[in-house]
């Protein structure tokens, strides 16, 4: 094989090199060409440079990152409190960060360096906050998504791109404040927080004042909302707009002459490239969308009941030491009842600060942690061969270097610290049988911007028999680690959502570890739950079916 | 563990903090340096990681008076060589001194690359939505090619071809933007 320059074969070979798919004869031929032809060599280098810059300059892809470009790398100060999170998990999972690898490699050396050092050094590798999100998926009813793409999650951020709904209803709230209910089958392209394209489907849009000027396009129509509520029914050949409240401006087809405004109670229909026909607005076509709110609530109530039913069984598990559902109060106003029926060693937990909040379902109560004082304290006596910690949490932000989920006070032998690092890593620190020995078991970064504000199930299993620690997210293991220290393990005095460092009145910044977010369920078992049990635990509590 | 012993811990890791600080600032440059030789992103990242480990091991011999990036790139070249030696295909590409020649020439061309590629963001913004989201999926989100192909209803080969065309479009776009400056 021989290559010439310029030629299609040269183009293909260079592309193959970039993608890792070039064959050996191609590579050999390219070698020969590049050594003998300086022009081809320079062109090759330019193409590769373009490719590698695309792969390494993440700010090319994000407006958010551009805003932060003046500070290209976060400073490596201990106790820095930047809300800096990695981008979406798939990237992180595929690309272990250099600093993580380093920390692993340097582990032996660092073990003398202590909890702080390793955590901090680990957490220095952080990307800038990046997001292309323009809207949020808030509610769904009986929804079926096109299986070709990963289904969006309720309360999850929606990035620019197309939503394909096969059936059911979904509510999308744009960051501009515009609220849209769509009914499948539908296709909706999210262009920005102020613009969407709907080639097909039925939708209802409400536009509050800050979102005035929101644009919605169909193949036939271009609608600019002037602060209203209107319905749209689009098929490839025909679009209808019905104004229920306020006013919209619309341009039909390409003809500027067809520009007009539509008042409350009016509707237009446009077929193909034809002229728009004026009609009276009809709510009939949109009945299911109007009913949406109600139906959505009904399906929530059903999930909530299912969860309560599952709990009645769970609370009989003899290995369940603590089960806080944040619904049943204890003997006083500031105590929480432990619902684990078979264990009376921990009758109650004590709330310090904290505010009531909405839980996974509208009727479900949760506890919100925000200030440095907010915490739930409990004391768990005993020694155990294994432990499982499980919690439903809605994280608002990772404000601290370490954000406590559940931590034993201080650093006593055999105890544990369960936390989320500010780069989205789940961590469990297990303290060894003697003072000063410990092991840190850290998952890859799994909490990202995209998952903030969503209810998530986090769990960690400490298995003394298998000498293993497993971190779980939403029922699935995200990492497994072998454990140096055998049982017994202890909990002792501990806190949910905060930490008592026992360090005196003015703790150093890195000793402040309060969580920013809500808990609506917490369970502690005196044994290691299996993968299957964890899946079930998650399935019973997940907010949407 | 007391607050006292904690201070001691912080001292012992000052070197590692310093190293990470330097390395993170250079990481992108090192990645591009390696990727000029082994452009496949996943492979280049592997090499960068191995480089980072080697640098950390030898950090004591680093002279802080000298710039870090060239020091790091020397290690990167070594690591890339070792990586290439075990892979016949890549050996075929980089044999007979071409690796060294590419690294040298790339350095000469850096100012020229910078001049052209600073228009890259602007040009990316001008891509049609579908193309832009493919580039984003491949380069930024690092979605695997099979999923990208499936999502767009294309074959894997067609998706690669599309990426190739998009890069050509981007290259033409940056070149058009550079010309008025030259005249």
Q: What is the DSSP string of A150-195?
A: PPPPTT-EEESEEEEEEEEEEEEEETTS-EEEEEEEEEEEEEETTE
Classified as helix, coil or strand, B174 is helix
Q: Which residue has the higher pLDDT, A175 or A14?
A: A14
Q: How far is the alpha carbon of A247 from chain B, nearest alpha carbon, in Å?
A: 30
Tell me which residue in B3, B48, B56 faces A106 most closely, judged by beta carbons: B56
In chain B, what residues touch A415 (CB-CB under 8 Å)?
none
State whether B109 and A51 contact (CB < 8 Å).
Answer: no
Contacts of B119 in chain A (CB under 8 A): none
Compare A421 and A302 and report the one with higher pLDDT.
Answer: A421
Contacts of B23 in chain A (CB under 8 A): 98
CA dihedral over A329, A332, A334, A336, signed as positive or negative: negative
The DSSP letter of residue B136 is: I
Q: Which two structure tokens, joined as six digits, stand for A294? A: 């109600």
H/E segment holding residue B44? helix B41-57
Please indicate whether, in this complex, the C-beta atoms of B143 and A48 are within 8 angstroms of each other.
Answer: no
Q: CA-to-CA distance for A500 and A331, rounded, in angstroms? A: 24
User: pLDDT tens, A254-289?
Assistant: 544 456 788 888 888 888 877 788 888 888 888 888
Helices (H) and strands (E) in chain B, counts: 10, 0
pLDDT digits (tens, 9 = 90+) for B166-178: 999 999 999 888 8
What would the two tokens of residue A532 be?
């299957």
Measured between beta carbons, the chain B residues lying within 8 angstroms of A429 are none
The pLDDT value given to residue A321: 95
For residues A9 and A2, what is the distance between their CA atoms, to the nearest angstrom? Answer: 9
* Closest CB from A51, A96, A98 relative to B27: A98
State how far the Cα of A231 lies from the Cα of A249, in Å rounded to an integer. Answer: 14
Residue that wins the pLDDT comparison between A69 and A240: A240
A147-206 per-position pLDDT tens digit? 888 888 776 778 888 999 999 889 888 877 788 999 989 999 999 888 999 999 999 998
Chain B residues with CB under 8 Å of A75 CB are: 21
pLDDT, chain A, mean: 79
B contact test, residue of A102, A160, A401, A413 with most B CBs within 10 A? A102
**Is the minimum CB–CB distance between B99 and chain A shorter than 8 Å?**
no
Top mean pLDDT of A65-69, A80-84, A420-424 is at A420-424
Q: What is the mean pLDDT of residues A406-422?
A: 90
Convert A496-537 into a string of H (helix), E (strand) and C (coil). ECCCCCCCCCCCCHHHCCCCEEEEEEEEEECCCCCHHHHHHH
A212 close to A185: Cβ distance less than 8 angstroms: no
- Fold of the B3-95 domain: Rna Polymerase Sigma Factor; Chain: A (1.10.1740)
CATH label, A133-290, candidates 2.60.120.1440, 1.10.760.10, 2.40.50.140, 2.40.37.10 = 2.60.120.1440
CATH code of domain A318-541: 2.60.120.200
Average pLDDT over residues A416-431: 91
Task: Report the alpha-carbon angle A353-A357-A363, nearest 5.
Answer: 140
Quick check: A17 and B93 CB within 8 A? yes
Q: Shortest CA distance to A396 belongs to which of A472, A497, A275?
A: A497
Q: What is the mean pLDDT of residues A244-263?
A: 72
Please give the CATH architecture assigned to the domain spanning B100-182: Orthogonal Bundle (1.10)
B8 compared with A277, residue with greater pLDDT: A277
Q: How would residue A62 be classed by pLDDT, with cut points 50, 70 and 90? A: low
Dist. CA A501–CA A115, nearest whole Å: 13
**Would you give the distance in Å from CA A69 to the centre of its chain?**
24
Nearest to B25 among A31, A73, A106 (CB): A73
Among A243-257, A266-280, A376-390, whose mean pLDDT is lowest? A243-257
Instruction: Say if residue A104's pLDDT is above 90.
Output: no
pLDDT value at position A127? 30
Has residue A36 got a pLDDT over 80?
A: yes
| pLDDT tens digit sequence for A486-536 | 999 999 989 999 888 765 445 555 677 889 999 999 999 999 999 999 999
Rounded to a whole number of angstroms, the distance from the CA of B13 to the nearest CA of chain A is 6
Is B13 at the interface with chain A, CB within 8 A? yes
Q: What is the pLDDT of residues B57-87, one digit of tens each?
A: 788 888 888 888 899 999 999 999 999 988 8
pLDDT of residue A218: 86
Structure token pair of residue A434: 């003697």
Question: Which range among A122-131, A294-303, A377-386, B146-155 has the greatest average pLDDT?
Answer: A377-386
**DSSP 8-state symbol, A129:** P
- In this structure, the number of other CB atoms found within 10 A of the CB of residue B97 comes to 11
List the domain boundaries for chain A.
Answer: 8-70+90-121, 133-290, 318-541
* pLDDT, tens digit, 9 for 90 and up, residues A113-151: 223 223 333 332 233 233 567 888 878 888 899 888 888
Shortest Cα distance, chain A CAs vs residue B172, angstroms: 11
Bond prior to B22 in cis (omega within 30° of 0): no
Rounded to the nearest angstrom, the gap between the alpha carbon of residue A404 and the centroid of all alpha carbons in its chain is 18
The encoded tokens of residue A444 equal 């890859």
Mean pLDDT computed over A462-472: 95
Instruction: Judge whether B100 is closer than 8 Å to chain A, CB to CB.
Output: no
Cβ distance of A34 and B102 shorter than 8 Å? yes
Q: Running DSSP on this structure, what letter comes out for residue A384?
A: B
Query: What secondary structure does DSSP assign to B137-159, as a single string?
Result: IIIIS---HHHHHHHHT--HHHH
């Amino acid at each position: 094989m021989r290559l010439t320059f310029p030629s299609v074969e040269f183009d293909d070979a260079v592309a193959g090199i970039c993608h890792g798919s070039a064959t050996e004869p191609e590579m050999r031929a390219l070698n020969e060409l590049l050594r003998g032809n300086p022009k081809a060599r320079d062109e090759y280098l330019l193409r590769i440079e373009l490719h590698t810059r695309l792969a390494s300059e993440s700010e090319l892809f994000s407006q958010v990152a551009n805003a932060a470009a003046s500070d290209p790398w976060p400073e490596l100060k201990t106790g820095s409190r930047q809300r800096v999170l990695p981008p979406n998990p798939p990237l992180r999972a595929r690309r272990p960060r250099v600093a993580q690898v380093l920390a692993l490699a340097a582990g032996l050396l660092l073990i003398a360096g202590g909890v702080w050092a390793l955590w901090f050094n680990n957490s220095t590798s952080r990307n800038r906050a990046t997001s292309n999100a323009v809207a949020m998926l808030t509610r769904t009813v009986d929804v079926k998504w096109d299986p070709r793409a990963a289904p969006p999650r309720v309360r999850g951020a929606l990035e620019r791109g197309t939503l394909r709904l096969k059936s059911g209803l979904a509510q999308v709230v744009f960051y501009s404040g515009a609220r849209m209910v769509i009914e499948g089958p539908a296709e909706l392209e999210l262009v920005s927080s102020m613009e969407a394209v709907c080639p097909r489907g039925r939708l209802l849009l409400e536009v509050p004042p800050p979102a005035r000027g929101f644009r919605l396009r169909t193949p036939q129509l271009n609608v600019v909302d002037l602060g209203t509520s209107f319905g749209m029914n689009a098929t490839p050949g025909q679009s209808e707009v019905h104004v229920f409240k306020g006013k919209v401006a619309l341009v039909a087809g390409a003809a500027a002459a067809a520009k007009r405004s539509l008042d409350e109670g009016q509707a237009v229909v446009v077929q193909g490239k034809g002229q728009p026909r004026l009609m009276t607005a009809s709510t009939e076509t949109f009945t299911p969308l109007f009913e949406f709110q109600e139906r959505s609530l009904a399906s929530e109530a059903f999930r909530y009941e299912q969860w309560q039913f599952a709990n009645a069984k769970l609370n009989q598990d003899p290995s369940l030491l603590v089960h806080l559902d944040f619904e049943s109060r204890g003997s006083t106003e500031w105590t929480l009842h432990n619902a684990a029926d078979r264990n009376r060693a921990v009758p109650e937990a004590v709330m310090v600060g904290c505010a009531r909040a909405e839980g996974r379902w509208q009727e479900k109560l949760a506890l919100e942690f925000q200030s440095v004082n907010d915490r739930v304290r409990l004391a768990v006596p005993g020694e155990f061969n294994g432990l499982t910690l499980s919690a439903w949490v809605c994280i608002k932000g990772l404000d601290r270097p370490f954000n406590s989920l559940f931590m034993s006070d201080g650093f006593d032998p055999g105890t544990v610290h369960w936390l989320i690092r500010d780069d989205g890593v789940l961590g469990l620190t297990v303290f060894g049988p003697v003072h000063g020995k410990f092991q840190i078991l850290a998952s890859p970064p799994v909490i990202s911007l995209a998952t903030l504000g969503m209810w998530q199930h986090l769990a960690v299993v400490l298995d003394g028999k298998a000498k293993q620690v497993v971190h779980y997210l939403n029922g699935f293991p995200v990492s497994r680690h072998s454990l140096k220290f055998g049982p017994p393990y202890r909990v002792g005095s501990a806190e949910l959502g905060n930490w008592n460092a026992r360090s005196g009145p003015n703790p150093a910044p890195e000793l402040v570890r309060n969580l920013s977010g809500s808990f609506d369920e917490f369970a502690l078992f005196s044994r290691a739950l299996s993968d299957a049990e964890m899946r079930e635990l998650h399935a019973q509590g997940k907010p949407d079916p | 563990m007391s607050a006292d012993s904690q201070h001691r811990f912080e001292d012992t890791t000052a070197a590692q903090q310093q190293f990470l600080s330097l390395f993170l600032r250079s990481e992108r440059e090192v990645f591009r340096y390696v990727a000029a030789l082994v452009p496949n992103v996943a492979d280049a990242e592997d090499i960068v990681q191995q480089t980072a480990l080697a640098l950390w091991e030898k950090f004591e011999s680093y002279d802080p008076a000298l710039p870090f990036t060239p020091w790091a790139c020397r290690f990167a070249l070594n690591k890339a060589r070792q990586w290439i030696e075990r892979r016949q295909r890549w050996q075929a590409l980089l044999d007979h001194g071409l690796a060294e020649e590419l690294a040298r020439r790339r350095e000469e061309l850096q100012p020229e690359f910078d001049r052209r590629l600073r228009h890259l963001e602007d040009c990316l913004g001008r891509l049609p939505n579908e193309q832009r989201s493919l580039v984003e999926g491949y380069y930024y989100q690092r979605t695997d090619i099979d999923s990208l192909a499936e999502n767009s209803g294309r074959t894997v080969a067609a998706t690669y071809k599309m990426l190739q065309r998009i890069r050509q479009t981007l290259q033409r776009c940056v070149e058009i933007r550079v010309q008025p400056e030259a005249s």
